[in-house]
Amino acid sequence: MGRAAAAAAVAGRRSAAADSARAAARGRRRAGARAQARGARGAHVAARRRRSAHVPVARRGGPAARDRSVRGRRGAAASAGRGRSVRRARRVMRVVHVTRGFPPRCIGGMSTAVDAIVAIHRDAGWCVGVVSFDGYRARAAGAVAPRVRQDGAGGWIVRVLGAASADEARARIVAFAPDVVYLHHGTLWSEVDDACRRVGARVVAVAHVCQAVQAALRGVRSVPRSVAAQRALLRAADEVIAPSRAAADALAADVPECASRLRVAALPVPDCAAALAAAGPPARGGPILYAGRFSDVNGTAEWIAAIPAVARACPRARFVVAGGVPENPRADARWRARFSASAPQAELVGWLGRDALARHYAGASIVVVPSWFETFGLTAVEAMCRGRAVVATAAGALVDHVEPGVTGVLVPPRDPVVLAEAVAALARDPDRAIALGTAAAAAARRRYCSPTTSWP
């Protein structure tokens, strides 16, 4: 009996060991299957994460640097499996610019700057879409269809002409699935914010105007819609670009939480190198030029008040005014009436295209920039690139551009008497005007005309 019990115990142990071995084998097979499934799911997750990842704004640099920066979000999904790693395919960067008045429609310095930025991005080989809200008001009724134009290399331009057509523009953004969306006007953020979130695009706010500064200069006590819209964009944007240190300081003071996402990048100056190459000394006795939008914050009223005083001090002086309010005929007519009544010496040549304006720069002896504040001051930079003496106000970015007594003359803003005295003094001394213009061209060559392959 003892021997039989021992044999039975041994047999039981052997059977248990066999069962345990079979269970372990089944466990290993199941674990292998689960690992394989997890590997496949991981490949799908990795691909999905790549598609939804935010692609950072490309920094300055050559093609290799740009190529490294755009790996990610829509790279071709690589096969994953046993022993094979996921490989990400390189692809073309996709960006969308949301703006107002994209050329050939032009409503001011923002139109010129955005046109130059888009050209830089296209030259870099990026696929670029543009949504331009032309004469658009969100609360206006209308079923005007957008004008759509394909722009080569997969790029396109959509011009939104009415409230009903904004939906189609948003749908195009979603279908395009850009890596980055540049917002060039705060009031447009509410029109495209949902589309940007749906595609996971990185949002970059470009501050062409400091709305809070303008409202304060005008003495506005309430919060205008333009100020509230820009603040909302500054809070929501992944990055904020200011075209000057003065603008950056103003934006950070207005919306402190955007300071950590804010950087300074000067706006590109169209045809800068060509302008410098063609620049020559101004003709003695050439006209005094004002170029730009008619606006209180642009100092138009101060220049109207200063012209008669300059004419009395310099009877031979000629005055050319190239500008207006292109999107508002009534406001344009009111400003023109003010010129005719108070400064009949001025020749009003209207709102000009780039080539026509360049000819007036070339013929001018002095360019006047009497703004209350400038975020960048494109008129001053364009004049400097053409070797023209600049009389500007010490306001905002103009202080960075003009070195007093070296590349131009600075005067206090909103003071037509001092403005007239400075312009008259320079008009009576053409040799000094030529010297200032020559130094201005050299400064512009150093600061604004270095070759760039990307922006910002």
Concatenated DSSP letters for 284-337?
TTPPEEEEEE--TTTTHHHHHHHHHHHHHH-TT--EEEEEE-TT-HHHHHHHHH
Query: What is the reported pLDDT for 141?
Result: 45
> Phi/psi of residue 155, each to 5°?
-80, 165
Q: Which residue has the tokens 């005083």?
A: 309
Q: How far apart are CA 283 and CA 434, in angstroms?
A: 9
At 384-441, the pLDDT tens digits run: 999 999 999 999 999 999 999 999 999 999 999 999 999 999 999 999 999 999 999 9
**Radius of gyration of the chain measured on its C-alpha atoms:** 31
**Closest Cα partner for 246 from 382, 404, 373, 111?**
373
Here the contacts of 19-26 (C-beta below 8 Å, separation 24 or greater) are none
The encoded tokens of residue 373 equal 């504040």
Query: What is the reported pLDDT for 165?
Result: 77
ω into 104 cis (within 30 of 0): yes
Q: Is 341 in a helix, a strand, or coil?
A: helix
The encoded tokens of residue 228 equal 């509230």
CA angle (87, 89, 95) in 5-degree steps? 140
CA atoms within 13 A on the CB side of 54: 15
The encoded tokens of residue 70 equal 């755009």
Q: How far apart are CA 23 and CA 18, in angstroms?
A: 9
Q: How far apart are CA 95 and CA 204, in angstroms?
A: 10
The region, left, alpha or beta by phi > 0 then psi within -120 to 50, assigned to residue 200 is: left
Q: How far apart are CA 332 and CA 350, in angstroms?
A: 9
Distance of CA 402 to the CA centre of its chain: 23
Give the C-alpha distances (Å, rounded to integers) separating 417 from 32, 304, 367: 87, 11, 17
> Phi/psi of residue 165, each to 5°?
-85, -10
**Closest Cα partner for 166 from 153, 174, 116?**
174
The tens-digit pLDDT sequence of the chain (456 residues) is 455 555 555 455 565 555 666 666 666 655 555 555 455 444 443 444 444 444 444 434 444 444 444 344 444 434 444 444 433 445 789 999 999 999 988 888 999 999 999 999 999 999 999 999 987 665 454 545 556 767 656 789 999 987 667 888 999 999 999 999 999 999 999 999 999 999 999 999 999 999 999 999 999 999 999 999 999 999 999 999 999 999 999 999 999 999 999 999 999 987 766 666 666 777 688 999 999 999 999 999 999 999 999 999 999 999 999 999 988 999 999 999 999 999 999 999 999 988 899 899 999 999 999 999 999 999 999 999 999 999 999 999 999 999 999 999 999 999 999 999 999 999 999 999 999 999 999 998 888 876 555 688
* Burial class of residue 78, CB neighbours in 10 A (0-12, 13-18, 19+): middle
Query: What is the reported pLDDT for 450?
Result: 63
ω into 456 cis (within 30 of 0): yes
Query: What is the reported pLDDT for 424?
Result: 98
Task: Kindly give, in sequence order, each residue whose CB lies less than 8 Å from that of residue 107, ignoring residues fewer than 6 positions away.
Answer: 100, 101, 293, 326, 327
CB 244 within 8 A of CB 400: yes
Looking at residue 370, what DSSP letter applies?
Answer: -
Q: Write down all domains in the chain, each with its CATH number in brackets.
A: 94-264 (3.40.50.2000), 272-448 (3.40.50.2000)
